[in-house]
Amino acid sequence: MLWFAVTALIAVLIGIALGVLLEPGPRTGVSAAAAAPPSATGSWLDFLKGLVPANFLGLSASTKIADGAPATALSFNVLQIIVLAIAVGAAAVRIGPAGESFLAFNASLLAIFKRLLLWVIRLTPIGTTALIGDAIARYGWEALGSLGQFAIAIYAGLLLVIALVYPLLLRLNGLSPLRFFRAAWPAIELGFVSRSSIGTLPMTQDVVERRLGVPPAYAAFAVPLGATTKMDGCAAIYPAIAAIFVAQFYGIHLGIDDYFLIVLVSVLGSAATAGLTGATVMLTLTLSTLGLPLEGVGLLLAIDPILDMGRTAVNVAGQALVPAIVAKRAGLSSSEQAEGEAKLSRSLGNRCDGDWCQFAIGWSA
């Protein structure tokens, strides 16, 4: 949790600095007519109520009238599903032998989903190109041009975090940035395409365990927790720059206390984004805390999918980074051993099993 807060603090400070220096609000070409209040807003009470499952599956339904006919849509809160999963998992372990078949079924199901994700990963380069093309075709170059300064500020902040801050933190903790990004790249790429930290969760956990050498017992706790609360892109950089953008657009002066509130909300309030695609809830939480017009959210929705791709990629990178750092500092990491096994396996023509690799490495040491 401390490392979650530290990286979020650095990210939000970068966001504030870019918002102040680049001034995306006065330089935007978007019309004030695009301003509209959001359909949902975030609050601390909503987050606390969201912890309590509404039903066993954590599902909710809403009915809207579309083209004269009612249409029902199902939605779910990922945070509620996690609470249910913890309760069911704890019960399955506590009942002993009676729960072994249930646990075995879940392990088998997880293995199947991981294999499906590996197949999806092979198509991500095609999916990435198609997704960017679809976004441009759907929203047009005009929308991108009018909010170009804002988009540049967001992606500059994301780039600084993932290309400067994260490698620096890895170096300071005795980890190789090159090896980290080589290992975590499949999850980062999938996060960019899927725009969902939760959707990328199985892949993130797989690379953290198998490629970064984090023990499964710790990774199984840290990675799902990070997928719902570790949001350097959506909950730190984006709301900081967006809040400054809205303030500048409406000509509202922000003082030192306002910037302090942005930092406080971003560091402590990232959990409010859990289970939701995009960063609207976190943004409305920041705007309402500062007393800024919530209508400003409507100014930014035109290019939000394009920004969300980069935000989610940074989120996923941070969700792999923190477990790797903590495991290294706590003496739990087996990354060096895993790397040694991989090198020895390659040198033997991929004919090396795990026991032999460990024996050879131990003998050579």
Domains along the chain? 2-58+83-344 (1.10.3860.10)
For residues 71 and 62, give the distance between their C-alpha atoms in angstroms, rounded to a whole number: 8
Residue 253 corresponds to which tokens in the numbers above? Answer: 């002066």
Look at the pTM and tell me if it is higher than 0.95. no
Q: Please tell me the predicted confidence (pLDDT) of residue 77.
A: 61
Q: Please tell me the predicted confidence (pLDDT) of residue 251.
A: 84
Please write the tens of the pLDDT for every residue from 79-122: 677 778 888 889 999 999 999 999 899 889 878 877 887 777 67
Q: Are 255 and 291 in contact (CB under 8 A)?
A: no
Q: Which residue has the tokens 């087996």?
A: 334
Residue 54 corresponds to which tokens in the numbers above? Answer: 């509404």
Please write the tens of the pLDDT for every residue from 153-184: 999 999 999 999 999 999 999 999 999 999 99
Amino acid residing at 53 = P
For residues 195 and 278, give the distance between their C-alpha atoms in angstroms, rounded to a whole number: 8
SS (H, E, C) 23-71: CCCCCCCCCHHHCCCCCCCCCHHHHHHHCCCCCCCCEEEEEEEECCEEE
- Burial track 116-135 (b if 16+ CB lie within 10 A, e otherwise): ebeeebeebeebeeebeeeb
